[in-house]
Amino acid sequence: MISMLENLLSESEARKLDALLEGANHIIVTCHVSPDGDAMGAILAFSHYCWRKGKDAVPMVPNIFPDFLKWMPGAERVRIYERHETESDAVIAAADLIVCLDFNAPDRLLGMKKPVTESTARKIMIDHHLDPSDFCEWRVSRQDMSSTCELLYRILVQMDGLEPLTYEEAVCLYTGMMTDTGCFSYNSSRSEIYYIVGQLLTKGIDKDKIYRNVFYSYSPDRFRLLGYLLYVKLDVFPEFRASLMTLTREEQRRFSHKKGDTEGFVNIPLQINKARLSVFLREDTERNCIRVSLRSVDDFPCNRMATEFFNGGGHLNAAGGELSCPMDEAIALVKKALRQYAPLLKGEA
């Protein structure tokens, strides 16, 4: 079957990537802090690719990843940097290639930033976020891709063809594509995406089971927390076609919050009639900051708002950032952002 996908890499880019991988013996495959489905899908898919090539590859994440992703093939081999910093520093120092997936700047590595940036290993970046920094010698950054896993699929198939792609790689790639598009509900209207899904299905993956593994594995406490947020903590601003939910550390303790329990919560208020923007503020339990998540529909630019107000960025309909201030100040800032973006939220601009 002839692929409908054009090659993403030029011949020279493909040759250089092949040379970098061929010349590496000890590879670190890493992603951004607080890994999501796309990040974990990408690092595990690329690790499986390296393992089938006979390479010594170590998937390493800055901090813990959600329980609902621990079923993924190879997840048991992931090294969590913050739990074993000294040993992980030695592994990074011994690497001759570091593969950076689903992030655009070393700041997104937190504690791993210093050992990675100081490493003499050659570095590769494969990402789909805006404004990539220049810290890798080989880089592909495509903001038009739905996910890093979509981008990675296209690179791996260009390099080797579809035939060698394994079941494990396909599972991981599909998981990343599914989660980073809200189960293909946003940033996913290009026909190429569904062509890729069709090709992944030829590897025997069960997309329905993958969906259940990710979304049907929550605790009763998670549902109680969701009910509490929707009933008690949801503020709706009909004049701005927007909503806001907040979650403090104390509230997280009350509902026995675990990493990943709030995944997807920010999307729910977009189901309100005529809603264009949903904002979620959560006090981080690991660092003294507030995590900001933004989701929108149609052409409202979450990424612009995140950059201007919340020290962040992202995509048109899905972005985030963080604030170093008390919750009441963060709420005031959100309201200021809503007022400033009122014309766009109302569809008047």
Co-location of 20 and 75 in the same domain: yes
The residue-averaged pLDDT of 225-245 equals 98
Helix-strand-coil split of the chain, %, nearest 5: 45, 15, 35
Co-location of 310 and 241 in the same domain: yes
* Bridge partners, 245 (sequence order): 280
pLDDT at 349: 60
The residue-averaged pLDDT of 302-311 equals 96
pLDDT at 187: 86
Q: In Å, what is the CA distance from 311 to each residue of 85, 143, 208? A: 27, 19, 37
Co-location of 242 and 290 in the same domain: yes
Token pair for 338: 């809503």
* AA identity, residue 333: L
- Helices 207-215, 167-180: inter-axial angle, 10-degree rounding: 60
- Determine contact, residues 27/48, Cβ cutoff 8 Å: no
Q: In Å, what is the CA distance from 243 to each residue of 84, 206, 210, 261? A: 40, 35, 30, 20
Domain end position, chosen among 215, 235, 266:
215
pTM of the complete model: 0.89
pLDDT band at 131 (very low <50, low <70, confident <90, very high): confident
Co-location of 209 and 271 in the same domain: no
What gap in Å lies between CA 320 and CA 313, rounded to an integer?
A: 6
Give the three-class secondary structure for 222: helix
pLDDT tens for each residue of 80-95: 999 999 999 999 999 9
| Residue of 142, 143, 156, 153 lying closest to 178 (CA atoms) | 153
Residue 264, domain member (yes or no)? yes
